[in-house]
Amino acid sequence: MNRRMLTRLYYSLKKKTKQSLATSSLLFVAGCISASFGSIRLFTALNYGLLNYNGNADALSVTLSDVTMSLLIMLPSLGLFLTAYLLLNSHSLGWKLSCASAIGALFLFSSHIIDSELLLVIGVLSAIATAMEIPRLTSSNKRDSPVITENLGRLGVTLSALICISLLVGLLLYIGIRGEKYLSLSFVAGSWSWRHAQEVLGGALGSIGGISDEIIGSLLLVTVCEAVAVPLGLGAAIYLAEYSSENVITDIVRFFVETLAGVPSIVIGLMGLALFVEQLHWGYSLLGGGISLAFMILPWNIRIAEEAMKAVPQSYREASMALGATQWQTVRMIVLYASSPGILTGILLGLGAALGETAVVLLTGSGWGGTTTLQLSLTHAAIPSLPVWIYMAPTLLLGGGAEGRVAEAYNIMFTGSFVLVVMFLAICIIALIVRNHLTKKITGK
């Protein structure tokens, strides 16, 4: 910072009124308090984490929670600095923000949710600033600078996009970090027994086992599911997009498709439980689970395929008709071909969603027993499935001498989650690649 900058700063401050200088410095002090408080916490947390991590899951969780919390403490300090800046430039939002921070800090202090005297100081400082701003509200000159509003808006949306992206990336990273500990070839390819895993966790030596049966079971379930959902969904989409004009029937069908999309998965699971498990006496089974999953992703397939077909230019159809093709020939050879990128993407995304679905499979396919052996039977045996394995893991692992190894049991559960997430992401990425490749091939661009 050289001398000229200081002079510039001095003159720009000199132009401000004394009052705005006073109120903004109050808020600035409050912001400094909150920021130093937060950064001390952040450093302590990071220090602890660096000293104790070494693959220790508990230390990881502690560090993560402390870092999150200290960032949450530092976020208001950013807001306080912003308020100080706004007050300095007599922007009307500054008054509202300082009012909000006063109320928020005093409320948090009085309700004892966070016990800290600093909250009281921050609250009082912003309350004084708010009170000092009141006379200015009634003055005649209240126009806000549009440049500041513009920058504020930009800052706000950028910040929320940053939060959104970092939350989702952090989610994936966290699963990766916790999942890599037990990840090995034998974990993916071996077979699983809860009893054996309990013993290994409880102190016995040996490999923990593997979840190949669960992976294959899940893949079988989504195969059955797609075998039912794809023909039905595609047929329905062709009917809605090609064979009907907009009339009452299509309206009704669309209404039911949307309603079906809104039905919670657990309700579909219960229907499967009543129909397949109890009334048809199949018990928990591959076919029952697959059909119930198909009911769940049917609307997904219909809507995406219908939209893909509607995006095909009308001239393609007219050209085909003019050459003497029947409607079915037009649909089969022209429309389906031109819309195949969209349709395939829809099918693959539905596949990914079905792969991760737990509630339906729990009630119709796998049951609560923690089934781990794969029996190739459509209707006579419960099918092991990876999401259900993840759901059951903490309950079924922590027994038989392994009660004290909670963090390790969760690590094993996270390894399963990691495998599931990798499968899910692989399907999604394949969907994207297929879409880009086919679009290029069809449009020739």
Please state the φ and ψ torsions of residue 284, each to the nearest 5 degrees: -70, 130
Residue choice 99, 220, 353, 438 for contact with other proteins (CB under 8 A): 353
Residue span 369-398 as binding mask against other proteins, x where in contact by CB under 8 A, dash where not? ------------------x--xx-------
CB of 87 to other proteins, least distance (A): 20
Nearer CB in complex with other proteins: 259/377: 259
User: What's the distance, CA 177 to chain centroid?
Assistant: 18
CA–CA gap between residue 368 and residue 382 (Å, rounded): 10
CA atoms of 84 and 95, how far apart (whole Å)? 10
Nearer to other proteins, 107 or 255 (CB): 255
Measured distance between the N- and C-terminal CA atoms of the chain, rounded to whole angstroms: 53
Helix (H, G, I), strand (E, B) or coil at 139: coil
Q: Taking the complex as a whole, how short is the minimal distance between the CB of residue 294 and other proteins, in angstroms?
A: 9
Amino acid at 261: A
Q: Tell which one of 26, 119, 234, 343 touches other proteins (CB under 8 A).
A: 234
Q: Tell me how far apart the alpha carbons of residues 217 and 206 are, in angstroms, rounded to a whole number.
A: 25
- Rounded Cα gap, residues 104 and 79, in angstroms: 12
Q: How far apart are CA 424 and CA 431, in angstroms?
A: 11
Q: Which of residues 114-153 bind other proteins (CB under 8 A)?
A: 114, 146-147, 149-150, 152-153
Residue 197 CA to residue 243 CA, distance in Å, equals: 56
- Those residues whose C-beta lies under 8 Å from the C-beta of residue 15, and which sit 6 or more positions away, are none
Does residue 130 contact residue 99 with C-beta atoms inside 8 Å?
yes
Q: How far is the CB of 149 from other proteins (least distance, A)?
A: 6
Could you tell me if 402 and 204 are in contact, meaning their C-beta atoms sit under 8 angstroms apart?
Answer: no
Cα distance between residue 207 and residue 225, in whole Å: 33
Considering only residues 173 to 232 of the shown chain, the ones binding other proteins according to CB under 8 A are 174-175, 178, 231-232
**Looking at 86, 287, 420, 438, which residue binds other proteins (CB under 8 A)?**
420
* Cβ distance to other proteins smaller for residue 23 or 290: 290
Which of 138, 245, 314, 443 lies at the binding interface for other proteins (CB under 8 A)?
245
Distance between CA atoms of 302 and 334, rounded to whole angstroms?
19
Q: By CB under 8 A, name the one of 158, 223, 373, 375 that touches other proteins.
A: 158
Window of 117-125, 196-204, 236-244, 397-405 that interacts with other proteins by CB under 8 A:
236-244
Evaluate whether 269 touches 363 at the Cβ level (below 8 Å): yes
Binding footprint of other proteins, residue count (CB under 8 A): 108
By C-alpha distance, which of 150, 121, 155, 296 is closest to 222? 296
Q: Using CB under 8 A, which of 358, 366, 371, 415 touches other proteins?
A: 358
Binding to other proteins, residues 297-326 (CB under 8 A): 297-300, 302-304, 307, 321, 326
Residue among 29 and 422 whose Cβ is closer to other proteins: 422
The smaller minimum CB distance to other proteins, of residues 137 and 167, is found at: 167
* Per-residue x/- track, 267-286, other proteins (CB under 8 A): xx-xx-xxx--x--------
Task: Tell me the window of 135-143, 197-205, 245-253, 397-405 that interacts with other proteins (CB under 8 A).
Answer: 245-253
* Nearest-angstrom CA–CA distance, 190 and 181: 16
CA–CA separation, 233 and 100 (whole Å): 51
Q: Which residues contact 62 (CB under 8 A, 6 or more apart)?
A: 45, 48, 49
CB 209 within 8 A of CB 193: yes
The one among 349, 382, 397, 409 contacting other proteins by CB under 8 A:
349
Q: Restricting to residues 54-113, which ones interact with other proteins according to CB under 8 A?
A: 61-62, 64-66, 68-69, 113
Q: What's the min distance (Å) between Cβ of 9 and other proteins?
A: 26
Complex with other proteins: residue 224 or 240, whichever CB lies closer: 240
Closest CB to other proteins among residues 131, 323: 323
**Least Å distance between CB 424 and other proteins?**
6
Q: Using CB under 8 A, which of 368, 376, 401, 404 touches other proteins? A: 368
Between residues 128 and 421, which has the closer beta carbon with respect to other proteins? 421
A 10 A CB-CB count for 325 gives 16
In the bound complex, what is the minimum distance in angstroms from residue 157's beta carbon to other proteins?
4
Whichever of 209 and 370 has its CB closer to other proteins, that residue is 370
